[in-house]
Amino acid sequence: MTDQSDEYRVTVADRERHASDPARELALDCVTAGIEAAHPERVVADALSLDDGVLTVTAVDGTSTTRDLATYDRVLVVGAGNAAGHFAAAVERLLGDRIDSGAVVTDDPVETDRVAVLPGDHPTPSEAGVESAKQVREVAADAGESDLVLALLTGGGSALLAAPAEGIGLGDLRETTDALLASGATISEINAVRKHCSAVKGGRLARAAGPADVLGLAVSDVTGDDPAVIASGPVSPDPTTYADALGVLDRYGIDAPTAVADRLERGAAGEVAETPKPGDPAFDGVDFRVVASARTALDAAREVAAERGYEPLVLSSRGRGEALEAAKTHAAVAEECRASGEPAEPPAVLLSAGEVTVALGEDPGEGGPNQEFALSAAVELDAAGDDGEGVAVASVDTDGIDGATDAAGALVDDRLVGDDADGGGGAERPLDRETAADALAAHDAYPALDGAGALLRTGPTGTNVNDLRAIVVAEGDARSDGGDARSEGRGVRSGDPDASSEETK
């Protein structure tokens, strides 16, 4: 893998305290390595190259495409997402003055020379995002038939590229977004609604850019890497319909604002134009490549585990469903490894990615899907007795923001929950079982995990490839003997002892 400077390392607050034994240290190192591998600086270095004015892009599926930049009058950049600023900066460093201008909207700004990095908010759209989205659309609409538009899309782009359709106000969009996020709907379902309430999503940005050539480049946070779902598919054909969007609202019992419901109903009746579909001439000059995804993070995490002498096993890059239930399944697999050596013989690391969700009730507490996953896993490991011993679980949102909290996720182990807790965070088991169960029932994992010192805080990471989980199943005596399964080679990122002081600053 390509090395990268300290500037792009993940900084974990209180790292030394979290990495208090070999299993916990490795779980932390796996998830931080995965995040770092998906940072746009590294992604651009690995997936894009420029040779004598010819841009070559190699996607995660191994396919590649080239563009001779000399054949275009102008190269313009548009984009949106948590990592769009970092993505634009990295592309700028590669292409230099071959970029004429551009605009991207993000909630993690960086300095750039040629591409305007504009403000927005996530996960709920804001007025700043609306104004920024207008500028992004103006750049696309200004493109001519002899221009190339590079569309840089990353996770979070749906909320950040906020361009309400005619008749829908920002307040309507915010209320609808909040209801969808709280409903437990999948990202595909949420984005079906978003696309039909937007002036740029669902292929409409590609239509605005025509007849220019458009090359979409994505750091995907979507399970399965569907271009129509990533950032709600602003430059991709939309297979969903107004009727599909209405079906989502009905399925999850969402009482949408009148302006939203009216638009969707009129669209389903054929009174409002649909989003452009596959085969629409708007996509004649459009190509789309996913240059980083959950697999990027999983591959890096797997490499770290193998370097330490642990058997890595990727369970899936497409994890989904309720966080609480998904954690039970992951914990059960870890217990099976401990009990029978199947599907992996300890010392082993179970890895997964994807997007788990939480269906919030009437009065939810504070937390996020990864925090709920971690707390649920800790409860299961406690209940498993000896079969849960020596297991550490790290679960994070790779953008560094789990839910609407200041934590990326959490790091727990089999000792977090039990009967001998004192509730003060200083006991061998900081959380008693009743407190943990109550927190899960109320979707209030944040205060429970915070009090137990289990939350992982990284701040914005500069990327977003969705959730990443590492479950370390240590050998039976790993805690007492210092973890001989670790190899001499500790990797070049978070596992490097020389890097520890940097990561705790």
In this predicted structure, what is the pLDDT of residue 3? 41
Residue 139 forms part of a structural domain: yes
Angle among Cα 413, 415, 417 to the nearest 5 degrees reads 100
Same domain, 334 and 238: no
Same domain, 448 and 318: yes
Residue 339 forms part of a structural domain: yes
Per the structure, the count of domains in the chain is 2
Mean pLDDT calculated for residue range 283-300: 97
Mean pLDDT calculated for residue range 143-167: 96
Alpha-carbon distance of 317 to 307, in angstroms, equals 21
**DSSP H/E element including 29:** helix 22-37
Would the pLDDT of 481 be above 60?
Answer: no
On whether the CB atoms of residues 214 and 295 are closer than 8 A, the answer is no
Residue 495 forms part of a structural domain: no
Position with higher pLDDT, 489 vs 171: 171
Tell me the pairing of strands 286-292 and 213-219: parallel
- 254 Cβ contact partners less than 8 Å away, ≥ 6 residues apart: 176, 179, 180, 183, 248
Q: Which residue has the tokens 């010819």?
A: 54
On whether the CB atoms of residues 120 and 134 are closer than 8 A, the answer is no
3-class state of residue 436 by DSSP: helix
Would the pLDDT of 17 be above 90?
Answer: yes
- CATH code at 431? 3.40.1480.10
In this predicted structure, what is the pLDDT of residue 363? 80
Same domain, 100 and 130: yes
In this predicted structure, what is the pLDDT of residue 498? 37
Residue 442 forms part of a structural domain: yes
Would the pLDDT of 93 be above 60?
Answer: yes
3-class state of residue 465 by DSSP: coil
Alpha-carbon distance of 246 to 262, in angstroms, equals 10
Mean pLDDT calculated for residue range 313-323: 94
Residues spanned by the domain of 84: 36-292
**DSSP H/E element including 24:** helix 22-37
Same domain, 287 and 325: no
Residue 140 forms part of a structural domain: yes
Of 274, 197, 282, 195, the residue nearest 233 (C-alpha): 195
pTM of this prediction?
A: 0.87
> How does pLDDT run across 45-68, given as a tens digit for each residue?
999 999 999 999 999 999 999 999
In this predicted structure, what is the pLDDT of residue 428? 57
Residue 347 forms part of a structural domain: yes
On whether the CB atoms of residues 410 and 370 are closer than 8 A, the answer is yes
With bands split at pLDDT 50, 70 and 90, how would you rate the model's confidence at 29? very high
Would the pLDDT of 265 be above 70?
Answer: yes
HEC per residue, 71-135? HCCEEEEEEECCCHHHHHHHHHHHHHHHCCEEEEEECCCCCCCCEEEEECCCCCCCHHHHHHHHH
Same domain, 278 and 160: yes
On whether the CB atoms of residues 76 and 101 are closer than 8 A, the answer is yes
Q: How far from each other are the two terminal CA atoms of the chain, in whole angstroms?
A: 26
Same domain, 43 and 149: yes
Tell me the pairing of strands 311-322 and 286-292: unpaired
Would the pLDDT of 318 be above 90?
Answer: yes
> How does pLDDT run across 157-204, given as a tens digit for each residue?
999 999 999 999 999 999 999 999 888 899 999 999 999 999 999 999
Residue 487 forms part of a structural domain: no
> How does pLDDT run across 363-405, given as a tens digit for each residue?
889 999 999 999 999 999 999 989 889 999 999 999 999 998 9
Mean pLDDT of the chain: 91
Residue 490 forms part of a structural domain: no
- CATH code at 106? 3.40.50.10180
Which value, to the nearest 10 degrees, does the dihedral of the CA atoms of residues 460, 127, 262, 249 take? 20
Q: What are the residue ranges of helices labelled H in 358-462?
A: 369-383, 433-441, 445-451
Same domain, 317 and 455: yes
Same domain, 250 and 212: yes
Half-sphere exposure of 232 (CA within 13 A, CB side): 29
Alpha-carbon distance of 402 to 114, in angstroms, equals 32
With bands split at pLDDT 50, 70 and 90, how would you rate the model's confidence at 419? confident
Same domain, 280 and 135: yes
Same domain, 331 and 284: no
With bands split at pLDDT 50, 70 and 90, how would you rate the model's confidence at 500? very low
Alpha-carbon distance of 135 to 84, in angstroms, equals 15
Alpha-carbon distance of 257 to 243, in angstroms, equals 17
3-class state of residue 373 by DSSP: helix
